């Protein structure tokens, strides 16, 4: 007996470049586990980012620095098992690509081999150029990440808007051109002035995906847990909340607790 299966056209790195060329905006959200990835993929979102923000969201760390390569592979492989259509991009975590290009390639190969992800994302510009080239030469697609790069939080000192000063804006524009020339298929721009982000998007042919970078770019990314209001202490101006799950889930848990305490749950119909 054959089971009819829905046919999905999978999103590839080329699809994203084509979307930019025809002016279609790209949607990207994070997921770190199977259940969330099933929902995000089923919703038609183009790209799922297995972000190292899992370090904050899933593990409760203050920064993205502690998450390990093994932990990223665990999250990414859970996501990959769920998806039918979306492109899965996996963050290379802090400390796995900054020291030398050979180590960077080894880390990227482990992500691709052990998780089944489709591409990696790396934070930084000219300082990681050789590592990016080494990974691209091995046939692994790379997404760049400029602007606020959380893995360098201790260098910046704060999570405020980046590249407001002319010198930093100039460097960011040069880095974006370098990433395009090196062969990256897209770049995330995080928390920079909208005007600068639009300028960068116009200067390159690869997609620019913004988070806190305004509407003049080629796509948007948000952390899903923030977007659905499951987190509630993080309230940056760029975040649009589509639900308030923190409140709804707290109410549900509290109602469940009351029902157990009062003996209302389980009812006659909820037992064997």
127 marked ligand binding residue = no
DSSP state of 185: S
121 marked ligand binding residue = yes
Q: Which of 152, 230, 164, 151 is nearest to 191 (CA)?
A: 164
What does each C-alpha distance from 238 to 103, 155, 234, 241 come to in angstroms? 35, 23, 11, 10
Among 122, 223, 227, 230, indicate the residue that binds ligand KIV (CB under 6 A): 223
* Alpha helices, DSSP H, located in the chain: 13-21, 34-42, 54-57, 69-80, 101-115, 129-137, 153-156, 166-182, 194-203, 224-227, 245-262
Question: What span, in angstroms and rounded, lies between the C-alpha atoms of 48 and 36?
Answer: 10
163-174 b/e (C-beta count within 10 Å ≥ 16 → b): beeeeebeebbe
Question: What span, in angstroms and rounded, lies between the C-alpha atoms of 219 and 207?
Answer: 7
Q: Least Å distance between CB 166 and ligand KIV?
A: 25
φ and ψ of 90, to 5 deg: -120, 130
* Candidate list 190, 198, 199, 233, residue with the active-site label: 190
Which range binds ligand KIV by CB under 6 A, 9-17, 48-56, 154-162, 253-261?
A: 48-56
Q: Least Å distance between CB 258 and ligand KIV?
A: 36
166 in active site: no
Question: What span, in angstroms and rounded, lies between the C-alpha atoms of 262 and 242?
Answer: 34
Among 37, 45, 83, 188, indicate the residue that binds ligand KIV (CB under 6 A): 188
Q: Least Å distance between CB 252 and ligand KIV?
A: 26
- Ranked by CB distance to ligand KIV, the top (closest) residue is 51
Among 37, 41, 47, 53, indicate the residue that binds ligand KIV (CB under 6 A): 53
- 135 vs 148, which CB is nearer to ligand KIV? 148
Which range binds ligand KIV by CB under 6 A, 45-53, 160-168, 169-177, 244-252?
A: 45-53
The total of other beta-carbon atoms located within 10 Å of residue 151's CB is 23
**# residues near ligand KIV by CB under 6 A:** 11
91 marked ligand binding residue = yes
CA 224, distance to chain mean position in Å, is: 9
- 77 vs 151, which CB is nearer to ligand KIV? 151
Q: Binding string to ligand KIV for residues 16 to 35, with x set by CB under 6 A, is what?
A: --------------x-----
Annotated binding site for Mg(2+): 52, 91, 123
Instruction: Give the interface with ligand KIV as residue ranges (CB under 6 A).
Output: 30, 49, 51-53, 91, 188, 190, 211, 221, 223
Annotated binding site for 3-methyl-2-oxobutanoate: 52-53, 91, 121
Catalytic center residues: 190
């Amino acid at each position: 007996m054959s089971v009819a299966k829905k046919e999905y056209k999978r999103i590839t790195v080329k699809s994203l470049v084509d979307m930019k060329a025809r002016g279609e905006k790209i949607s990207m959200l994070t997921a770190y586990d199977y259940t969330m990835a099933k929902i995000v993929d089923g919703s038609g979102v183009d790209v799922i980012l297995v972000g190292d923000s899992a370090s904050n969201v899933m593990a409760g760390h203050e920064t993205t620095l502690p998450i390990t390569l093994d932990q990223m592979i665990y999250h990414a492989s859970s996501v990959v098992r769920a998806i039918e259509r979306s492109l899965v991009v996996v963050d290379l975590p802090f400390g796995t690509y900054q020291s030398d290009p050979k180590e960077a390639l080894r880390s990227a190969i482990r992500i691709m081999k052990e998780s089944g992800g489709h591409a990696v994302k790396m934070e930084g510009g000219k300082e990681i150029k050789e590592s990016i080239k080494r990974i691209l030469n091995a046939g692994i697609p790379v997404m760049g990440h400029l602007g606020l790069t959380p893995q360098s939080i201790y260098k910046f000192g704060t999570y405020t808007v980046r590249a407001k000063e002319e010198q930093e804006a100039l460097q960011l524009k040069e880095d974006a051109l370098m990433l395009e020339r090196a062969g990256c298929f897209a770049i995330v721009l995080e928390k920079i002035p909208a005007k600068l982000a639009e300028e960068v998007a116009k200067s390159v042919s690869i997609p620019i995906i913004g988070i806190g970078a305004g509407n003049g770019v080629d796509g948007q990314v948000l952390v899903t847990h923030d977007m659905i209001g499951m987190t509630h202490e993080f309230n940056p101006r760029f975040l649009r909340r589509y639900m308030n799950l923190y409140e709804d889930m707290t109410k549900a848990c509290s109602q469940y607790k009351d029902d157990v305490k009062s003996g209302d749950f389980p009812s006659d119909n909820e037992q064997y």
